[in-house]
Structure 1
Amino acid sequence: MNWAQMYDCYGDVDRVPELLARAEREDDAEAWDELGYRLVLECDLVFPASFAALPRLARLASRSARARGLAGTIVRCAAGSHGCDDLLAGCAEAIAEFRELLDRHLRSRPDDYLATFRNSIAAEGQYHWSAVLGDFTDDFYQVACPHCAAEVTIAIGGYGRYSAIRDWNRGDVDRRDLRPASPEGLSGIGRWMHQTAVRDGEVVLADGITHLFGQAECPRCASIFNIADEYASSNRPLM
């Protein structure tokens, strides 16, 4: 790794390797804190040093929650405009190993389950779902009806599971119940997400996923469409 070209968010090329060595050797809390704000800005921007550090962070992740969290944040930001596609491609093997580590962590049913689940989704390359998936207690998704282009609000939470037209004065109006997918009918990332949640006993998460990958009725034109397909087509990043 030519660290002389791997600048961080401050433009420095020598600080990150030093901090990584301190974090690995001493589990230095100050070093971890500084790595966090040098490798990822608050607006989720990442830099060459972020991807240069990723393989090492992934190796440390098995014994360090700080490394696991920082590596996950970098992976989630990989869909952004960072100009480091060649560096990201070079991290493919490290990301694959990191994905396996995250899966083992999920099986332990940790306190940070949802954060780890979202990092796992990002490691699968499904950045749009990683960015928005919640715990389905208060989740909303905005999609355009593919038939009449109406902006439809999809609600999946303890208060209801419905499609509606959002009126900022009256709230969600003309609600229509969602039609959840059957677990057997799921495929692709939806199937993986659901099976993982079921395996780990995350009942609410699993049920929410069947609704997210199910069908909705447009309150405007009454047509039926697949929620996940419409959301993904509008929000999947161009890689």
Structure 2
Amino acid sequence: MTNWAQMYDCYGDVDRVPELLTMAERDDDAEAWDELGRRLVLECDLVFPASFAALPRLVRLASRSTRARGLAGAIVRCGAGGHGCDDLMEKCGGSISEFRALLDRHLRSRPDNYLVPFRDLIATDGQYHWGAVLGDFSDDFYQVACPHCAVDVTIAIGDHGRYSAIRDWNRGDMDRRGLKPATPEGLSGTGRWMYGTAVRDGETALADGIAHLFGRAECPRCASVFSIADEYGSSHHPSM
């Protein structure tokens, strides 16, 4: 049983969220959903005790409610933030696993907004850095440090090219070097799972972008070759 007297939302209230959840469950009230969103997730990606307290009920609604699925996904994506609710998040482990299975089934239906639940699915696996930054690879950029000479390298994966470069804010991307995408056989771990899910669901552009993101880049400064995902992940993967 949730002790809502301790579960404050972003306004410090402890009684409004359970009331709104009941309204949303009973009537699918649009105003109730809008207020829940404002109270449970701030625009700066902050979450609160009430956010995790609400998560199990949101997951139960997520199979039939787009709003519940989206709000549950937003809460899970914020799981790596400095919210001070790690104990509450840990208690939501069962709900997060249930949500992960639900999202996987939903993705198989190939929804129009595929990238949003795909990012939510990634977050349920604890890969918060990819869940936060992964784009549709039409115009994506990732900043990494070369592991050999420490220069800042821009990784571009989009319609305008797939390359590494040194970014000059006056002259643009300088000394571009083409990326070397990973082969399907060369992928492992998270990259293999992300790539396989996208391929399974016919998201060929997303899969190709993931192959490049988990491929290798050449440093324009020292010409050393390194794994893009390894360097980005080591810099951005949160310590939980």
Structure 2: where are the runs of 5+ without partners?
A: none
What is the distance in 1 between the residues matched to 2:178 and 2:10?
A: 46
Q: Does 1:227 pair with 2:189?
A: no
Counterpart residue type for residue 155 of structure 1: A
Q: Deviations over 1:81-122 (max 9, x none)?
A: 000000000000000000000001100000110000000000
Q: Does 1:195 pair with 2:190?
A: no
Give the drift of 1:42. 1.0
* Deviant stretches of 4+, over 4 Å: none
Q: Does 1:76 pair with 2:77?
A: yes
Structure 1: where are the runs of 5+ without partners?
A: none
Counterpart residue type for residue 196 of structure 2: Q
Q: TM-score normalised to the size of structure 1?
A: 1.00
Counterpart residue type for residue 107 of structure 2: L
Counterpart residue type for residue 159 of structure 1: H
Q: Does 1:66 pair with 2:70?
A: no
* Equivalent residue number for residue 11 of structure 1: 12
What is the distance in 1 between the residues matched to 2:11 and 2:157?
A: 40
* Equivalent residue number for residue 141 of structure 2: 140
Q: Map 1:88-103; keep pairs closer than 5 Å.
A: 88-103=89-104
* Equivalent residue number for residue 163 of structure 1: 164
How many residues were matched structurally? 239
* Sequence identity (%): 80
Give the drift of 1:47. 0.2
What is the distance in 2 between the residues matched to 1:136 and 1:60?
A: 31
Give the drift of 1:10. 0.5
What is the distance in 2 between the residues matched to 1:40 and 1:160?
A: 35
Q: Deviations over 1:51-90 (max 9, x none)?
A: 0000100010000000000000000001000000000000
Q: Does 1:208 pair with 2:219?
A: no
Q: Deviations over 1:160-192 (max 9, x none)?
A: 100000011110010000000011111111000
Indicate the SS of the match to 2:135. Answer: coil
Q: Deviations over 1:213-237 (max 9, x none)?
A: 0000000000000000000000001
Indicate the SS of the match to 1:216. Answer: strand
What is the distance in 1 between the residues matched to 2:113 and 2:25?
A: 22
Counterpart residue type for residue 158 of structure 1: D
Aligned CA-pair RMSD: 0.4
* Equivalent residue number for residue 29 of structure 1: 30
Counterpart residue type for residue 82 of structure 1: H
Q: Deviations over 1:11-48 (max 9, x none)?
A: 00000000000000000000000000000111110000
Indicate the SS of the match to 1:117. Answer: helix
* Equivalent residue number for residue 177 of structure 2: 176
What is the distance in 1 between the residues matched to 2:52 and 2:211?
A: 34
